[in-house]
Amino acid sequence: MIKADVLDAGVEVSRCREATSLRVMLWAGVGAKVFPDISQAVKEVVKIKKSFYPQPDNVSAYKKIYHGYLCLYQRLYGKEKPSKED
């Protein structure tokens, strides 16, 4: 999965296709004291469909591409990194 490679971190995909609705339900459960906290709510409710892990060769390639992007950005705009306003 590209996301795991770009982030250089594991990514878990939930069985639930409606992540936003699930998140709202979990927080409502915490608010209604069904769960003591969000961590417990996630442990009890969220089911993982599949896990993806970064592939070292892909991670290396994305890091090179990102470095090239940062160099190009600096040459174009004279800044180290893009800010949220850019």
Q: Which residues 6+ apart lie within 8 Å of 1 measured at CB?
A: 11, 52
Q: What is the mean pLDDT of the chain?
A: 93
User: What integer pLDDT is reported at residue 84 of this predicted model?
Assistant: 66
Neighbours of 42 (CB within 10 A): 14
Tens of pLDDT, residue by residue over 36-69, are 999 999 999 999 999 999 999 999 999 999 999 9
